[in-house]
């Protein structure tokens, strides 16, 4: 692209400039060229012509014989092999029908034209950094209640096999439009072996956290580390902690973005406690300029930091960059006081990796059938085994967690929490993460000292003390 522009620059010179500025300015417009012809036609096209076959016990949605299902799967930490596995399960049961699994990393950019043209895929794994904000398309999606009311491939009703509350994050105004497949537990992760070796315990309150920070510093380590694209993991930690402290009242205030919700006592107490830790220098500096996986490796490989707040995908994500003997273990997020509204074992857990079935797809029944296969025992166990993560289907993880300490601790945390499991939606629902990253990078950086002021500090420490306060 760059060379192309320069090529024109050399040969055609200034006459071209006006044309080129137009072209540049119309960057957004350029994206829309392919759409212009289709805009008019989509009013008439639509889901009505979705082909269906005869419904039966083995074919509850009536997948047409010899049909193809177009599945677009986000290719991230989990890969797409698990989806191909489920696709094969479908073709085994529905003779002649196949599932075409396509890997994709930029869901929003690649599928946007297909949505506008009224020609979306039959089933989409709407995930990753470039997912389609669910709020923008939820009106065009199928209600998936009939999927979880159907029987799975082993003949059990699907809704009875799922963890509690997993349909909540995908339900909007009473319509269940997004099936979040992967159960995610948010926690503070550490290496049990490292903690044992040093005689540390995982803190349950922020005061204990500060004390642990002091001990870690004495051992030449930091309490936390962060990366610029993942600074909001600390927001997730803060919100969890505030909800555990202040109860559902805090959760609802934040989720509904009530005026003054960030000023609630519980929220402010957590922020103040975090600020104390940051100011004490227990957070590894430089995170605002560090790529997030590099920062995570400082925790899992170099053990420069001893704790990291994240979702349970962390083990799989850092698989190749984890020190041997690093027994990754999760514990619930801390509270502010010992008499918090939620018990210490309460857990922030939700389902992620959202699957959607657009109503305008050519093979809506096929899309639903694919989800039915995914929710059946074979596919769910296959997923847990190959990605070391739990799906929303219960009882798919054996006692030894396929040899993963993280997975074992995840199952234990869920059991300990019982019904004290909570979550919130507002960050993803309104696409707020990009804006919040800016705030959190600044907060975690503390007062950013410039090179010159640091140099001043070396020359005269007293002057430095007055300038940084």
Partner 1 sequence: MTSTDTPATTRSGVSGPPVRRRRKKFSFDRVSFFVVFLGIPVVGYLIFVIWPFLQAFYYSLTDWSGFSPDMNFIGLKNYVNLFQDSIFLKAVGNSVTLLIVLPFVTLVIAMAFASIIVLGGPSNGPIRGLKASSLYRVVSFFPYVIPAIVIAIIWSFVYDPSAGLLNGILQSLGGNWANSFAWLGNPRTALVSVIFVIVWGLVGFYMVLFIASIKGVPAEIYEAARIDGAGRFRTAISITVPLIRDNIQTAYIYMGILALDAFVYMAGLEAGGGPGNSTLVISQRLFTTAFTKGQFGYASAMGVTLALITLLFAAVVFAVNRLTGGTNEVSE
Q: Which of residues 69-108 bind partner 1 (CB under 8 A)?
A: 108
| Other residues' Cβ atoms within 10 Å of the Cβ of residue 163 | 17
* Number of residues lying near partner 1 (CB under 8 A): 72
* Selected binder of partner 1 within 320, 419, 434, 466 (CB under 8 A): 434
User: Smallest gap, in angstroms, from Cβ of residue 5 to partner 1?
Assistant: 7
Is 19 among the residues that bind partner 1 (CB under 8 A)?
A: yes
Is 435 among the residues that bind partner 1 (CB under 8 A)?
A: yes
Is 395 among the residues that bind partner 1 (CB under 8 A)?
A: no
Tell me how far apart the alpha carbons of residues 130 and 134 are, in angstroms, rounded to a whole number: 12
Is 137 among the residues that bind partner 1 (CB under 8 A)?
A: yes
Site for partner 1 in 318-347 (CB under 8 A): none
Is 20 among the residues that bind partner 1 (CB under 8 A)?
A: yes
Site string for partner 1, 272-301 (x = CB under 8 A): ------------xxxxxxxx--x---x---
- Is the CB of 199 or the CB of 220 nearer to partner 1? 220
Is 21 among the residues that bind partner 1 (CB under 8 A)?
A: yes
Question: Quick one: which segment of 30-38, 159-167, 185-193, 235-243 binds partner 1 (CB under 8 A)?
Answer: 30-38
Question: Quick one: which segment of 18-26, 259-267, 336-344, 416-424 binds partner 1 (CB under 8 A)?
Answer: 18-26
- Is the CB of 1 or the CB of 415 nearer to partner 1? 1
- Is the CB of 41 or the CB of 337 nearer to partner 1? 41
Site for partner 1 in 172-211 (CB under 8 A): none
User: Smallest gap, in angstroms, from Cβ of residue 69 to partner 1?
Assistant: 21
The set of residues, in sequence order, having a beta carbon less than 8 Å from that of 213 and lying 6+ positions away, is 223, 277, 280, 282
* Selected binder of partner 1 within 7, 33, 319, 418 (CB under 8 A): 33
Two tokens, residue 61: 């949605």
Is 135 among the residues that bind partner 1 (CB under 8 A)?
A: yes
Is 229 among the residues that bind partner 1 (CB under 8 A)?
A: yes
Is 437 among the residues that bind partner 1 (CB under 8 A)?
A: yes
Q: Which of 445, 448, 450 has its CA nearest to residue 226?
A: 445
Is 441 among the residues that bind partner 1 (CB under 8 A)?
A: yes
Question: Quick one: which segment of 28-36, 66-74, 257-265, 365-373 binds partner 1 (CB under 8 A)?
Answer: 28-36
User: Smallest gap, in angstroms, from Cβ of residue 98 to partner 1?
Assistant: 27
Site for partner 1 in 231-250 (CB under 8 A): none
User: Smallest gap, in angstroms, from Cβ of residue 15 to partner 1?
Assistant: 6
Is 375 among the residues that bind partner 1 (CB under 8 A)?
A: no
Is 460 among the residues that bind partner 1 (CB under 8 A)?
A: no
- Is the CB of 324 or the CB of 452 nearer to partner 1? 452
User: Smallest gap, in angstroms, from Cβ of residue 278 to partner 1?
Assistant: 14
* Selected binder of partner 1 within 87, 118, 203, 354 (CB under 8 A): 118
Is 115 among the residues that bind partner 1 (CB under 8 A)?
A: yes
Is 438 among the residues that bind partner 1 (CB under 8 A)?
A: yes
| Other residues' Cβ atoms within 10 Å of the Cβ of residue 366 | 32
Whole-angstrom CA distances from 255 to 132, 167, 179, 243 are 20, 17, 20, 11
* Selected binder of partner 1 within 65, 164, 455, 465 (CB under 8 A): 455
User: Smallest gap, in angstroms, from Cβ of residue 218 to partner 1?
Assistant: 19
């Amino acid at each position: 692209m760059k060379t192309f522009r320069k090529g024109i620059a050399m040969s055609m010179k200034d006459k071209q400039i006006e044309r080129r500025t137009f072209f540049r300015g119309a960057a957004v417009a350029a994206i829309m060229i392919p759409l212009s012809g289709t805009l008019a036609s989509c009013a008439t096209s639509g889901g009505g012509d979705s082909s269906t076959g005869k419904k039966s016990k083995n074919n509850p949605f009536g997948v047409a014989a010899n049909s193809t299902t177009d599945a677009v799967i986000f290719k991230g930490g989990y890969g797409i092999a698990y989806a191909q596995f489920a696709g094969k399960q479908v073709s085994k049961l529905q003779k002649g029908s196949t599932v075409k699994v396509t890997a994709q990393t930029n869901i929003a950019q690649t599928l946007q034209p297909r949505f506008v043209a009224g020609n979306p895929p039959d089933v989409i794994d709407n995930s990753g950094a470039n997912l389609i904000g669910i709020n923008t398309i939820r009106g065009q999606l199928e209600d998936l209640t009939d999927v979880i009311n159907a029987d799975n491939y082993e003949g059990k009703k699907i809704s009875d096999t799922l963890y509690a509350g997993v349909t909540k994050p995908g339900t909007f105004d009473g319509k269940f439009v997004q099936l979040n497949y992967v159960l995610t537990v948010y926690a503070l992760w550490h290496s049990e072996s490292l903690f044992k070796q040093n005689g540390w315990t995982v803190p349950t309150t922020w005061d204990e956290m500060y004390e642990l920070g002091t001990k870690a510093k004495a051992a030449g380590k930091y309490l936390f580390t962060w990366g610029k694209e993942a600074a909001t993991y600390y927001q997730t930690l803060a919100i969890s902690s505030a909800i555990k402290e202040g109860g559902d009242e805090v959760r609802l205030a934040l989720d509904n973005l009530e005026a003054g919700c960030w000023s609630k006592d519980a929220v402010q107490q957590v922020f103040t406690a975090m600020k104390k830790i940051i100011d004490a220098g227990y957070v590894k500096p430089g995170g605002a300029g560090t790529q997030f996986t590099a920062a995570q490796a400082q925790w899992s490989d170099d053990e420069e930091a001893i704790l990291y707040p994240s979702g349970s995908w962390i083990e799989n994500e850092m698989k190749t960059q984890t020190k041997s003997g690093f027994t990754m273990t999760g514990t619930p997020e801390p509270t502010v006081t010992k008499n918090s509204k939620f018990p210490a074992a309460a857990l922030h857990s939700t389902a992620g990796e959202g699957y959607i079935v657009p109503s305008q797809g050519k093979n809506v029944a096929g899309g639903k059938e694919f989800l039915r296969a995914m929710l059946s025992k074979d596919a769910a166990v296959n997923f847990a085994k190959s990605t070391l993560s739990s799906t929303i289907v219960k009882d798919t993880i054996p006692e030894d967690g396929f040899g993963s300490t993280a997975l074992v601790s995840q199952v234990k945390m869920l059991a300990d929490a019982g019904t004290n499991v909570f979550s919130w939606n507002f960050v993803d629902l309104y696409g707020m993460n990009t804006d919040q990253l800016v705030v959190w990078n600044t907060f975690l950086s503390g007062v950013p000292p410039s090179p010159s002021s640091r140099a001043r500090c070396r020359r005269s420490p007293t002057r430095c003390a007055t300038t940084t306060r």
